[in-house]
Amino acid sequence: MALRVDWTEEQTKRALYLYFQLPFGQIDQRNSEIIALAAALGRTPSSVAMKLANFASLDPQITRTGRKGLSGASALDRETWSQFQADWTKLVVEVGSIEGGELPTAGGAREMRMPFREEAPGSPTTRQTEVAQRIGQDFFRRAVLANFNNACCVTGIAESKLLMASHISPWSSDVENRHNPKNGLCLSATFDRAFDRCLMTITPDLRMRLSNRLLRHDSPETRDFFAPYQGQSLRNPTHLMPDLALLAAHNERFIV
């Protein structure tokens, strides 16, 4: 009989890092990313899939919809879950920087929104910062898209090249929530721009609110495009509910 080997802290962090980047329906031992992580950790794909299903039992958005995951979450699983929630950036960069920690991603063009430089190009600190930013941006994009089943949470458009991981609270000013998936919405490009320009917002009951600038626009095509979405409910996330406090702050910036 094979001896059971407990999961280490690093292995658990790497598994949770992947968990947030996969739609719930893709937690399966045949998933290529689960197979790749299993090889990197020296574990079987079935054990990694089980670990991810254990995380699902800690996920409020999973359990509130009647899905349960597995019931074998350990004390280390719970502690690691709490660590991610407390400091997304620290854990995302830490795990993503592990050699071999970044696994090949399944489809989907990267969304490149480069932050401002604060140091001379090419300096060691700048290179380290840019690596950390790239890791964080890649994680944020994949986690936000996975949270909405790789489809726009407004229109349902599911072509990855047209989807953006939109920050609710801006990347440039909210350092604490830069990599927090609860600070993200998966939006198709037009709605991403409208949200970024505060011509659209999401109310506390997760409904669309559109600016009169769009709804009463001189262009009938513009009015006709946006009007059907006024008051529409957001599509349900699979992992993490958008942060209501961050949405409330966006409501304050909304252009009526």
pLDDT per position as a tens digit, 164-203: 999 999 998 899 999 999 999 999 999 999 999 999 999 9
158 and 247 part of one domain: yes
**83 found inside a domain:** yes
pLDDT at 132 (0 to 100): 79
150 and 256 part of one domain: yes
- Tell me how many domains the chain contains: 2
pLDDT band of residue 34 (cuts 50, 70, 90) is very high
27 and 93 part of one domain: yes
Of 15-19, 35-39, 69-73, 174-178, minimum mean pLDDT range: 69-73
Q: Which range of residues forms the domain containing residue 94?
A: 7-102
179 and 225 part of one domain: yes
96 and 193 part of one domain: no
pLDDT at 77 over 90: yes
Share of the chain above pLDDT 70, in %: 84
Closest CA to 93 of 131, 143, 150, 144: 131
85 and 28 part of one domain: yes
Mean predicted lDDT score pLDDT of the chain? 87
Of 12-16, 48-52, 130-134, 208-212, minimum mean pLDDT range: 130-134
150 and 233 part of one domain: yes
